[in-house]
A and B are shown apart, each in its own frame.
Chain A
Amino acid sequence: MSLEAMYQQVIMDHAREGHGRGLVDLTAAGRGESHQVNPTCGDEVTMRVGVDGDTVAAIAWEGHGCSISQASISVLSELVEGESLDTADEIYEAFRALMQSKGEHLDEEREDLLGDATAFVGVGKYPARIKCALLGWMAFRDALIQARTASSGAAVEGGEA
């Protein structure tokens, strides 16, 4: 496994571009926010997730970290924004599985779901770096749960009004 195989061009590009970066206020019906820290290096991310009905309506984040963590958050933002909640769950589970695969590719169905995120397959070979790749996904998971709860609460209130 070469260094180039781990730092694929798509990862380097995402690390630079930082899709979704900027902690803007969200307007979705259900909103959640999560702050995650990687204690080994002090890297941090704050992520906001907005849910409208059955859809991940918006993602916004701010943070600092290594190229793996930053690229992973960028890819995540691009992948799940606009997806249904069920698909977002599947993408999340697929990425977790990719990180646990010890560098092996997943089945075609899950790799299709992951798109650019399959480029992180090499990270699974470096246990110390898996946390870097998962930092944003942990924030997403946490913020999404809050947003979902808030969204269903808003729907109930809306129904009563």
Chain B
Amino acid sequence: MLPDLRGDFPILTRTVRNGRPLVYLDSGATAQRPLAVLEAEAAFSREHNGAVARGAHLLAEEATDAFETARASVAELIGASADEVVWTSGATAALNLVANGMLQASLGAGGAEAERFRVGPGDRIVVTELEHHANLIPWQQLAARTGAELAWIPVDDAGELILDGLSEIITEATKVVAFTHASNVTGVITDVEPIVRRAHEVGALAVLDGCQSVPHIPVDVAQLGVDLMAFSGHKMLGPTGVGALWGRKELLDALPPSVFGGGAIAIVTMETTTWLDAPTRFEPGTQPVAQAVGMGAAARYLMDLGMENVARHEARIAQILREGAAALPGVRLIGPVGDPTRFDVLGLAAVAVEGVHTHDVGQVLDDRGIAARVGHHCAQPLHRRLGLTGSTRASAHVYTTEDDAHAFVEALAGVREFFGVTV
């Protein structure tokens, strides 16, 4: 189990509405940052700021070193090597980098080695029905622009992925399968193995959205067997504006870049450009260096805690949130219920309160100092499939206490009465 870490997170000591202490249960959207991250960013800016990989002066060297050390830390967190980690502005940019790279390849870029990235009429792109918009729209748009067909793995009435018919969905024509490692709404951790196995059986790329998993559970890309994975800094106790794409090296070296500029190139003439190998080919322009340093510190902080311990802690919080919410009359827990050994969940619970709109639920929680997420959580298709327009989500991280989880359940219990909903 984790020690009490609240002293590491200065923001948790502030008060919010009506002078109440903050109960922060919106870590699935943006996590709070420990002193180790805040100080790493500040120390970089105070003492080492300079142009990375340009210039021969001392500060440029120190900045480059800090930037690359951070990359190595982030790589270590997911069991990868540093040259397989590309800095991006976040998971959204990382997923777009892959989809846009495939679009570039489809337009003819990248030569023979980019052949595996090309899609067109007759080809298929597969996602799932529970994706965050960031892992749906780039693929939907790639399909629209290339004439490829978009197909998806459906969910059942409880919001659980139906993996029975995989071979009919991931057909021989499939070029890429993009799916989340864990739903940001139901919290259920995806059974990755059968999807990757089927994708590789037909020669398709397996792209994983690790946004919700990397910050909360042990993730080892080699063990997962996926080809590419995106994740964000700000959900893993790091800064906003930074994230990463991991990919197998030979894939990254072959994927055409789609954002062009300085620093990513080998030779430039007036007519042509040749690219450096990954990860540099995907990092044109000046990168968010202080933020990358902060993300590296966040990775280090999580590794020091031990991801097994983090996962165990959050499983305990999940249990309180989910059992507490499910037991309340008029409250529907989103996602599969029943035998909890059948699936693993993140430390989160999304609920719909019968007769009360999610914004109104959120207002009652906010009045009690509880920060939760309301709305569709960027997963409109999933909510629509479940007959909802939105839900209220409590999500935990390493600093979340059992008291926080109980406070959520207790506040939720009073919502229907406040709005006079009795049936």
Residues of A within 8 A of B (CB): 1-3, 6-7, 12, 40-43, 64-68, 126, 128-129, 132
Contact = CB atoms under 8 A, between A and B. Distances in A.
B358 A41 contact: yes
Q: Which of A42, A64, A65, A68 has the most CB of B within 10 A?
A: A42
Contact of A41 (B356, B367, B376): B376
7 contacts: A12-B420, A40-B375, A41-B357, A41-B376, A43-B389, A64-B389, A66-B359
A132 B390 contact: no
Contacts, number: 49
Given A3-B367, A67-B419, A42 B360 contact: no
A42 B363 contact: no
A65 B374 CA distance: 13
B397 interface: no
A41 B375 contact: yes
A42 B389 CA distance: 6
A12 B364 contact: no
A67 B389 contact: no
B390 A41 contact: yes
A66 B419 CA distance: 11
B383 interface: yes
A66 B376 contact: no
Nearest to B358: A41
Interface string B408-420: 0000000000111
Interface in B249-273: none
B380 interface: yes
Contacts of A6: 363
A68 B367 CA distance: 16
Nearest to A64: B389
Contacts of A64: 389
A122 to B, nearest CB: 11
A102 B143 CA distance: 45
Contacts of A68: 359-360
Contacts of B367: 2-3
Contact of A3 (B358, B364, B383): B364
B356, B363, B380, B389, most chain A CB atoms within 10 A: B363
B363 A41 contact: no
A42 B418 contact: no
A67 B418 CA distance: 12
B375 A42 contact: yes
Given A3-B367, A41-B390, A66 B383 contact: no
Nearest to A42: B389
A143 B374 CA distance: 29
A126 B389 contact: no
A123 B152 CA distance: 41
A139 B376 CA distance: 22
B375 A129 contact: no
B103 to A, nearest CB: 26
Nearest to B356: A67
A126 B383 CA distance: 26
Contacts of A7: 360, 363, 418-419
A105 to B, nearest CB: 21
Nearest to A12: B420
Nearest to B368: A3
A129 B390 CA distance: 15
Contacts of B419: 7, 12, 67
A95 to B, nearest CB: 19
A129 B389 CA distance: 17
A42 B364 contact: no
Contacts of A40: 375
Most chain A CB within 10 A, of B357, B376, B420, is at: B357
A129 B380 CA distance: 20
B360 A41 contact: no
B385 to A, nearest CB: 13
B420 A41 contact: no
Contact of B376 (A3, A42, A129): A42
Interface string B363-398: 110010000001110001001000001100000000
A66 B358 contact: yes
A7 B360 CA distance: 9
Nearest to A132: B359
B375 to A, nearest CB: 4
